[in-house]
Every structure is written in C-alpha cells, then in structure tokens.
Amino acid sequence: MKVQRQFVQVGARRVMVRHAGRGPAVVLVHQSPQSSRALMPWIERLAAQYAVFAPDTPGFGHSDPLPLAAPSITDYAEALAELLGALGLQRVLVFGMHTGAAIATQLALAHPQHVAGLVTDGLSLFDAEECASLLAHYVPPFEPQWDGSHLRWLFARLREQHLFFPWYDGRRAARLRYPLPAPERVHADVLDLLDAGDGYRAAYRAAFQYAPRGALPSLQVPALLAWRAGDVLAPHAPRCPALPAASRAAVLMGGEGELVKCTDNHFAACAAGATVADAAASMAAAPAATRRIVAAGGVEWAFHLAPGGDAPARLSLGDIGQPAAVPESGAGPRIAVELPGHGASLAAAELDVAMPRLAAALHEALAALLPATAPLELQAQGAGAVLARHLARALGARCTALQTAGLPPADAAARRHFLQQLPALAPDAQGGHLLAAWDWARQSQLFDPWQPATAAGVLDAPAPDPQRLHEHVREVLRAGPLHAALWRAALDEE
C-alpha cells in the first residue's frame, strides 16, 4: 500500500504527516533528530490492517516548530493532541520510539480519553546526574561555519552515536556493540538534522528533562513499555515503577523483530477501542495548509501557497539546488514549487528528468491547485527558466507572462565546464561528500561557475554568508543524484 504525505494546518503551524491504510487509527511518533521517514517500514506494515498516521514532530522533517523557546514534552504531547483533533481522531493506538516514546507516554497520561493503547520503545527515565550531563554536552549549537566544518562535525557526530552513548563519552564503559553504520544511513540522518537545524536541541532537551516515573503508576490506558536489550536506553528498564494491571514493562531480548511482534499483539488486543478511519479521507477533511503536496508524473510536487485576489496567479520556479521562494509581489495567488528532490518534493527512483517531461508533470500537478482555465504568470530563476519555458508551452494561452533571470550561458564549452565541476554527492564513509558540496557551492559564489577559476573568473563579491550558503548546500545534498541529473537535462537541450 502506497504511503502518502500531506500537510495539515494545526493552528498557526503546518504539520507534515505520512499516512496510509484503513481501519483502527494508529499514530507513530519518531525519535529525534529524525523524521517520520525513519518509520516507513512500520507505516507500510501496519497499513495492511490500520489507518496509520506518522507526523513529523514539531521542528523536524517538514513540520513547523513550536513557537516556544524551550518546549517541554508536555508541549509536544499537546501539539500531538491538537493534530488528532485536526484529523478528527477521537481515540488512537500510539507507538513512540525514544523521544517519540516520551511524547506518546505524556499523551496517554494527559489525554487518556484519546488513547486506546500505548506501546513505547525505549522510554527514557534519566536521573538528575544524567540529565545534567546530557544538557551540558549532548546538544551543542549547530551553526553554519564559513569553511563547512559544521557539516563534517555533523557526520562524525551522527556516526559516533552508534559507537558510544552518550556520543561525547569516549570511555570504555560507554562503548556500544553496534555495527559501524553504512555511510548512506548516516547521510540520511544528516539530512534529517539539516531540516531541523539548530532547533534540533529543543526536543532533545525536553526528553532529557522529562520525568514521568511518578505518574506512570496512574496510567489509565493499556500500555506496553518496552526496552530492546542492547538499546542505549535498555538500562532504564529497571527504573520503571510498578504499573497498573492493564499495563506492563518488558525487556525484549529478540531485538526489533520481537518489538514488532509485541506491538502487533498489543495493538490487536486494543484495536476495538480505537476510532475506525480511512487515512486518506481523514487527511483530506483536515484543515488545508499553506504547503501542499500533489503527486504527478513520478514526482510528489511540494508547493508553497500564498492567497491573493482575483488577479492571475503567479508561480515561481527557482534555480536547481536552491530553496523555493514565494513571489514577493502579485495581486493574485502566489505559488512556489519545489523542484524534484528539493524541499519536500520527492521523486521516483528512475524519474525521467527531461525538461518537457517534467513540465508536463508539473502542469498536471497544477490542475489540483488552480481551475483548468485560470491564467498564470511565471517567473523563474537560472535553470528553473528552462523548465518554465516548457511549462509556458504546456499552458498555452493561460500563460500571461514569463519572466526569467540568471539564464545559463549559451556557450557549449562553458556548459561542459560547469557540468564537469559538479560535486560528487554519493555518501562516503568519512562524510567528505558534504565538504565537496560546500566547497563547490562556495567557490561558485567567488568565481564564475561557468569558466575556470582563474583571475579572469573572479567575481567582485564578498565572502558568502554562511547561513545562506548552508541553505543552498542543504538543497544540493537533499537532491543528491538528481542535482547533476537536473543540470544535465537543463543544459543539454538548450
């Protein structure tokens, strides 16, 4: 069953939710600093029997953060309760892992009327000394540096958490018996933390300070509090107090396989108390957000929407490797589209990136946002203008204006040089691909990227702002192989 994604408006916040299936409602809450992407195998498996909803928690993935300087687990749980209300779900089965376990537990404690059953994987029960150490060392600021060294630190940091817990404690006693993670796995975690940015610290700090031990004996919902043997939080299992008769705590010796089996059994026993739902219908009935995802032509196109008057809508197409930006002016609705592999736009593994093909797919996607005959103005930057030209042809008389800027040069030699300089983005074991992307992006703002970096190619410009450069590199890394593929498609046909 295909897992779909959509944004839901919850108050002033936009929440990204992965969803699939029909049946008793299940909510899955991921750990920090990941996103609901990490729970894809769980969504796909459970969707055969349940209506499954897996939100990106506030500040992670593509969900907006909470408007609080120092949110607590209670705040995250209240945000989850608000999401349930927006989805029209009265009672749900809830599963949470690590930070997600804390959020799910607090939801069950504060809103037992909304929880038909609870399963946690690795609920943290830190003592005061551990909490103080973690708050002091575990979550240092994450700030872009001029030389890209923050990316190298990030890769090493996320790899180190598979070697030691806490990651900053290199003592023998803190050594973990986990295999060295594959570069692709570390890279996926890097992308998740890049989405969160420095805000990644908020949920961690909330989890470290969460102290539910005194409240656990009063749980009013059937709960399975599980710790997998070998998990970094398994030593917390003996700290769990006695639970009510309908709940139990357990150390699972069979790893994730046993966790899956126990979760399935617990949910099956509690499913009769959960709201029966169709996940897609619940999402469609929820308040629409100012971000929208529309699937067409092998791409899940992500749009940013700004309302307007009766004047023609204006659509912005940014350059390859750059974040999307809603047009600043326009009397009608304003729309920005994220190119395939950029932002929240996901692309099929074997996507045909020929510009006419992508323009046809984008034209199809726009039909879900605008009336079939609605006029549309296009503005495009850089290589995005190539796609815009093809889209203008597909729109025909509906395209009332086409504005382009920063077009690639026509010189074939310049184009070959540019394509040869594109960074290799395949993850390597030391994270060097991250620095390759950073160095390429920085050099392209100091020297004309269409010619060799000689004195003749020097740009009269200051050093790039690290934050803006970081946003550019984040999009390049997120696009991965599509970055070069899109550039080749844009330049080879011009």
Residues 316 and 276 in one domain: no
Helix (H) or strand (E) holding 192, with range, is helix 183-196
Residues 356 and 479 in one domain: no
Tokens representing 409 are 């040069």
Residues 129 and 215 in one domain: yes
Q: Decide if 114 is inside a domain.
A: yes
Q: Decide if 193 is inside a domain.
A: no
Q: Which of 203, 137, 142, 198 is nearest to 170 (CA)?
A: 137
What's residue 47's pLDDT?
98
Residues 116 and 249 in one domain: yes
Residues 269 and 299 in one domain: no
What's residue 347's pLDDT?
96
Residues 366 and 395 in one domain: yes
Residue where a domain stops, chosen among 405, 433, 464: 405
Residues 294 and 368 in one domain: yes
What's residue 304's pLDDT?
96
Residue where a domain stops, chosen among 268, 283, 298: 283
What's residue 492's pLDDT?
86
Instruction: Fill in the DSSP letter of residue 240.
Output: P
46 contacts: CB under 8 Å, gap ≥ 6:
21, 26, 28, 52, 267
What's residue 493's pLDDT?
63
Residues 31 and 61 in one domain: yes
Helix (H) or strand (E) holding 177, with range, is none
Number of domains observed in the structure of the chain: 3
Q: Which of 66, 111, 36, 35 is nearest to 206 (CA)?
A: 66
Residue ranges, the chain, pLDDT below 70: 493-494
Instruction: Fill in the DSSP letter of residue 174.
Output: G
Residue where a domain stops, chosen among 250, 283, 316: 283
What's residue 116's pLDDT?
98
What's residue 313's pLDDT?
94
CATH code, domain with 328 = 3.40.50.1820
Residues 316 and 448 in one domain: no
Calpha distance 209→225 (Å, rounded):
19
Q: Decide if 110 is inside a domain.
A: yes
Q: Decide if 160 is inside a domain.
A: no
Residues 231 and 378 in one domain: no
Calpha distance 477→471 (Å, rounded):
10
Parent domain of 348: 289-405
Neighbours of 295 (CB within 10 A): 17
